[in-house]
Amino acid sequence: MRKGIELLYAVGAAKDVYYLVGASLKRQARAAGETLSKGPERAASAYAAACVANMDEIATAVGADSSNIWPALKYQCIHADFEDCLVLAAAQRAKADFLVTSDEALLRHAPVAALSVDDFLVLVGGVVGPEGRQGPHGGGAGGGVKLVTRAAG
């Protein structure tokens, strides 16, 4: 917790982080001409798992169960991506103050207060360079792990 802010994440985001980090490391290795034997493949998986563990240390997972389905289905009338709608339901469940995302479509459609990563960093006093901060998908439309935040209290 920093500056009285509690970071939360939809529990399903953990699998996304694990997959994206592992796939990125493997893709980089292949692009460098490396063949992935069991050792490097295990190292990529271990690194991805460490990233998820770190995420879990600094943020709290918001669980999901069948009570998330109804609001997620309702959110689909304004935003077609069902996975994003489950994130919105998690934000609602957690009574989050903000949804922080690099997904441009979700920023436009979110029925809750939504901020870009750069705007959130400015809000909490973080530093953003003149070109902004690129997310895991290089910024722009789509992708990106969503975080929800609430004031600690």
> Does the predicted model carry a pTM greater than 0.75?
no
Average pLDDT score over the chain: 81
Amino acid 136: pLDDT: 39
Write the burial class of residue 6 (CB in 10 Å: 0-12 exposed, 13-18 middle, 19+ buried).
Answer: middle
Helix runs in the chain, H state only: 13-31, 38-58, 69-75, 82-93, 104-109, 117-123
Domains and CATH numbers, the chain: 5-151 (3.40.50)
| Confidence category of residue 77, pLDDT binned at 50, 70, 90 | very high
Q: Please report, rounded to a whole number, the percentage of residues in the chain having pLDDT higher than 70.
A: 80
